[in-house]
Structure 1
Amino acid sequence: EFTLRAYLNGRIDLSQAEAVAEIVAGGNAFQLQAAQKLLAGKLSQTAAQIRQEILDVLSLIEAGLDFSTEDITFVGPDEATEKIERITEALETLLAGGIRYEEMIDLPSVGLAGTSNAGKSSLLNALLGQERSIVSDQKATTRDVLCGVLELEKCRCTLFDCAGLKRAEADSALLDELAAQAAAEAINAANMVLLCVDMAKTDYSEDIEISRTIGAGRIALVATKADLLDEQDSKRKQTQLAELFDSQLVVTSTRSGRGIGSLRALIDSRIVSLTAGAAEAADRIAVNQRHRKIVAETIEHLDDAAGQMALGNDEIAAMFLRSAYEVLAGLEKEDIDEAVLDRIFSNFCIGK
């Protein structure tokens, strides 16, 4: 309500009003920075500069039309076309460099995978800081896909636990088969997988098979139940697991809290690298579907204007440039009916 009032009273433009909703929905630190740049008017400033460049070219072309009987050349076709193409390139760069607002809505997912009783549920609870999953010594306690939002230093993600992945058995109950199917589908869709391996056991053939099924690219190896081994046995087992899985591992114990902080940091860095590189994201602006539609339409008008200039149709080119100027102005404030405003502000939470 307050953001709508600010827009209607001219205190902020439309893109800044949308930035408030984008800040609320931002999934990591870099997405928030992009939305904050939008709120600060970075998109509006960029659009205003580009509109001024369009106006400069338009004024030169129209001056030539107004004084066509005079022996004066304000701008030649080649020069005008070059100016229009530079403006088009600037808009294309804006589109390519923006973080899609729609991409912010779906948080990246991190799945806990492993055999039954590998310590996945305990690890889920430890990472989330709450009792989200039932913990039991009995195998196959977890059947449904359980999830929660993991808040990290630089980002957020969905963390989920599911039934243990295991070979299908001929006498498996229907419920076990459905649980295994749901687990496999969830793990396959995850951006990152924490493969939980019980340090206290001796046979890892099933764990190795699971790791091959998932693929090494998304896996982070997590050694669980480190508290069940003494220091000497723990070091020996770490070396063994690193060789077996050909991977570095994070050693954890949910009872002592060992390795939980290191694991959170690893997830944080992996998810940030998936969403946007730190160096690239620093200068990016949050761009939503409405912005992209306006910029794309402006580019179309500019392309048409350049084409008409090449054909010597200055008057038609001026018409397309004027259209491009008017369309781009819609990023800040446009003649927009109440239904469209309702649609934009419906994305806001009550009280935000």
Structure 2
Amino acid sequence: MTHTDTIVALATPSGAGAIAIIRLSGNDAITIAAKLFASVSGKDLTKQKTHTVHLGNIMDDTRVIDQVLATVFKNPNSYTGENVVEFSCHGSSYIQQEIIQLCLRNGCRMAQAGEFTLRAFLSGKMDLSQAEAVADLISSDSAASHQLAIQQMRGGFSSEIKQLRQELLDFASLIELELDFAEEDVEFANRDEFQKLITRITHVLKRLIDSFATGNVLKNGIPVAIVGEPNVGKSTLLNALLNEERAIVSDIAGTTRDTIEDEITIGGIGFRFIDTAGIRETTDTIEGLGIKKTFEKMEQAQVVVYLFEASPSALRASPPKGEKYSSISVEVEKIKNRFPQKPLLVIANKIDELNVTDRSAFKKQITKTLPTTNYQLLTLSAKTGEGVEELQTTLFDFVNTGALRNNETIVTNTRHYDSLLKALEEIHKVQQGIDSNLSSDLMAIDIRQALYYFGEITGEISNDELLGNIFANFCIGK
């Protein structure tokens, strides 16, 4: 792919709408646009100042295709760092295609996915981590993921990495210089200062690596598995949380035979709720497959919600009172033993069916029966909505939003996380070299490798394959 020609693409979503934007970028963008654009006031588009907007018609010879606004951005003061023109036209799919085809016939080519942002990176308008944040910003669907993308676009993360890399590079240069004077046995790099730098880099890298767990949650949302026996109200709870009839609800046990997933935002954080098949012994092959998938979803979830019913029928069930809840205690222990690190919420549903006396009896009985640690117990009615808000608050409390509130740097990108791990590994090798008084030439090898992984994050070191993988995930027109 050449990046010297002029590209064109629809910059707004495809399909009919009120307005669409068609973007051109490249050395000849303004010249090509001027051929198609007839200003209502007779202006020549090539002679207009940057960041100006002009009203006119898009013309195919003598045929008027549409009346548009043409916005001119001259290099280097544009998103891509090149000459850019944006036509704001009416949102008819026919009009969009007519204008794009006209641009193609006059010297443009269609832009590839992410090519406008790729050109911005190649022009030095942003580094690679900022370019990746553009894709995150477009796909953000919660306040938290939006804030993280904005922070990264502003260069908070990359500036921290660049500063560390530059300081390490300065010391590396001095160590490399020592190699040129090896016979004189001189030291240009102050080893005490170098030790302080390595200690600080180690601390920063560990902090950034640790932040990935939080960043991944804030960016992608928190998967919550709703599990329990059949017919205890799992699908009703999902519908109550989503405030819509998303899952089929019936009195027939085993209605849900596959997992159903949907997402809501609580306090700016995305939560992906997974309604699973009821767990029980069954000879039904299809239901059995659903139960197997339930355990798979529990494995993937970050929070497990175990639901059981607190109805009068359960409270007064035969076998004698209490044995019903003893079986629930066994199931809770199984989940805790199988997933000891996952937060577990034990929820008594159908609390609306209990009168005041029954509620008191239930609380006494359940307190005696269930384990006393490593879970939280809530009561609610998925049917009436009682207690659902308390459940949402409890779920939100599982998320550590302190770093987000304090505007700390949070890593959300898997590629960055991998490079940070590799950089830390090399820094550990450098530290070992300092401790064992390793020669400068051997220490320089580890320093160079650490610098390489730092550069991978910001794009100071990149290759076509890496760039292709990153920008292929962008939408056309961005």
Quote the offset at 1:262 in angstroms. 0.7
The one-letter code matched in structure 2 to 1:260 is V
- Bigger-Rg structure (1/2): 2
Change in Cα spacing, 1:257 to 1:350, as seen in structure 2 (3 Å) is farther
Q: How does 1:238-277 map to 2 (within 5 A)?
A: 238-246=363-371, 249-270=377-398, 272=399, 277=400
The one-letter code matched in structure 2 to 1:195 is L
| 1:222 pairs with one of 347, 362, 377 | 347
Q: Deviations over 1:69-93 (max 9, x none)?
A: 99986446x4476366446535643
Q: Secondary structure at the match of 1:139?
A: coil
Q: Secondary structure at the match of 1:249?
A: strand
| 1:207 pairs with one of 314, 328, 336 | 328
Q: Deviations over 1:18-45 (max 9, x none)?
A: 1233455679766665544332212222
Residues in 2 aligned to 1:144 and 1:193: alpha-carbon distance in whole angstroms: 17
Q: Deviations over 1:180-208 (max 9, x none)?
A: 43334434554312323232322325434
| 2:279 pairs with one of 165, 169, 175 | 165
Residues in 2 aligned to 1:306 and 1:65: alpha-carbon distance in whole angstroms: 19
- The residue number in structure 2 matching 1:14 is 128
Q: Which has the higher contact order (CA 8 A, sep 6+)?
A: 1
- The residue number in structure 2 matching 1:82 is 195
The one-letter code matched in structure 2 to 1:236 is A
Q: Secondary structure at the match of 1:109?
A: strand
Q: Deviations over 1:271-306 (max 9, x none)?
A: x1xxxx344565242153443555535863894698
| TM-score when normalising by structure 1 | 0.76
Q: Secondary structure at the match of 1:193?
A: strand
| 2:305 pairs with one of 186, 189, 193 | 193
| TM-score when normalising by structure 2 | 0.58
Q: Is the 8 A contact 2:208 2:411 kept in 1?
A: no
Change in Cα spacing, 1:238 to 1:317, as seen in structure 2 (3 Å) is closer
Q: Is the 8 A contact 2:263 2:273 kept in 1?
A: yes
Q: Secondary structure at the match of 1:159?
A: strand
Query: What RMSD in Å do the two structures reach over aligned CA positions?
Result: 4.0
Q: Secondary structure at the match of 1:131?
A: coil
- The residue number in structure 1 matching 2:253 is 139
Q: Secondary structure at the match of 2:124?
A: coil
Q: Secondary structure at the match of 1:135?
A: coil
The structure with more strand, counted as a fraction of residues:
2
Q: Deviations over 1:88-141 (max 9, x none)?
A: 535643553441699457654322222222122111111122212111122222
- The residue number in structure 1 matching 2:212 is 99
Return 128-137 or 41-50, whichever deviates more.
41-50
Q: Which runs of 5+ in 1 are unaligned?
A: none
The one-letter code matched in structure 1 to 2:297 is A
The structure with more helix, counted as a fraction of residues:
1
Residues in 1 aligned to 2:465 and 2:292: alpha-carbon distance in whole angstroms: 44
Quote the offset at 1:319 in angstroms. 7.4
Q: Which runs of 5+ in 2 are unaligned?
A: 1-113, 318-323
